[in-house]
Amino acid sequence: MRDILPDVERWLAQGKRVALATVVKVYGSAPRPLGAKMAISEQAEMTGSVSGGCVESAVVQEALEVLSEGRPRLLAFGITDEQAWEVGLACGGSIEVFVEPLNTSQQQAVWDTLRAALREERLVGVATVLQGPQAGHKLLLWPDGQTIGTLCDTALDAHVRARGTAALQTQTTQRWRFPLGETEIDLFMEVFPPSPKLIIVGAVHIAIPLVTMAKALGFRTIVVDARKVFATPERFHHADELILGWPEDILRQLPLDEATYVVVLTHDEKLDNPALKVALEHPVRYVGALGSRKTHARRVQALKEMGLTDEQIARIHAPIGIDIPTRTPEEIAVAIMAEIVAAKNGQEHTVEQHTA
């Protein structure tokens, strides 16, 4: 959604009606993932994609009709093997796309609040009814339990709040069916995490390829170190931000949210342990620390003496990285980024990597 937001807001500012198309179900090897979006203005301008080019023209026509009628639609499209090959896939699949008008008076407050949350990089979830007379009704949820909007049934709102909290914790978009009286409600629960950022504590050699890989995967990269000899612009010209200072102090100044990933690499307990304490006191998505099992055992004891609980300490991925044989800094960076991607996508790995 964030990638199409500038175009959407420009069209809305121009007074144009806008429809939003969202992939709400994927069967097989469809070109675009769950939650992929395309926006269409009343003048048939489009931004984003729901299929990589396979069905966009059909979605535009449906969107124009949705804008004319003012009612959402749930559409199904099959993507043939031939179409899939045209957009670089090995096989086809099928998708369901929910098309809805954005600027309706009924949902205006919900959309305005959602767009503000996206601009502010806040973690937020949106539950949408996909079918029936309540189609298009939305409930926005935040991790603290705050909500805006309604699905037009108080029991359903309460049920979605409870289940939506878990979805926010795992940052996973899902589709649910809830029984309501003699019918079932078809719901799409979409989670919008903040943009991911990787904070690397320790401007060591491993950090150089780690920055390169993280940026290629869409992470904002921040390198922090108190040692001038390591933290130089020549070594980290490719990082989004290079900060010279004590990691503990710097981390306290940075926004450590649910889309923050912290990697501690200095191998110096005076720098590592205070930084780990700060990270573990916040709802960061991932915390990893370089070091062998013996090193980590000493680290655990030190962190306990600093007041951290067993539950907090258990969040540390150490030894860091997935279990693959590594020898070079680049290979260690691959293992670290693989573990971070797994955590980002809701899959935790048991770590068996040995690092010195």
170 shares a domain with 44 = no
Residue 349 has pLDDT above 60, yes or no: no
pLDDT at 79 (0 to 100): 61
Could you tell me whether strands 220-225 and 197-201 are parallel, antiparallel, or unpaired per DSSP bridges?
parallel
Give the whole-angstrom CA distance, residue 51 versus residue 63: 15
Residue whose entry in the numeric block shows the structure tokens 């790995």 = 349
Specify whether 123 is located in the same domain as 252: no
Last residue of a domain, one of 193, 221, 251: 193
Q: Does a structural domain hold residue 349? A: no
Same domain, 163 and 202: no
- Least confidently predicted of 146-160, 188-202, 217-231: 146-160
Answer with the one of 50, 74, 103 that is the final residue of a domain.
Answer: 103
Domain final position from 193, 210, 225: 193
For residue 318, pLDDT beyond 70: yes
Q: Which stretches of 246-305 are assigned E, i.e. beta strand?
A: 260-264, 286-289
pLDDT for 56-71, tens place per residue? 889 999 999 999 999 9
Identify the band that residue 45 occupies on the pLDDT scale cut at 50, 70 and 90. very high
Token pair 């409870």 is found at: 162
Q: Is the residue at 10 inside a domain? A: yes
Residues 183 and 211 occupy one common structural domain = no
User: What's the whole-model pTM score?
Assistant: 0.78
Q: What's the domain count of the chain?
A: 3
Same domain, 157 and 145: yes
Residue 149: give the domain boundaries.
105-193
- Residue 355 placed within a domain: no
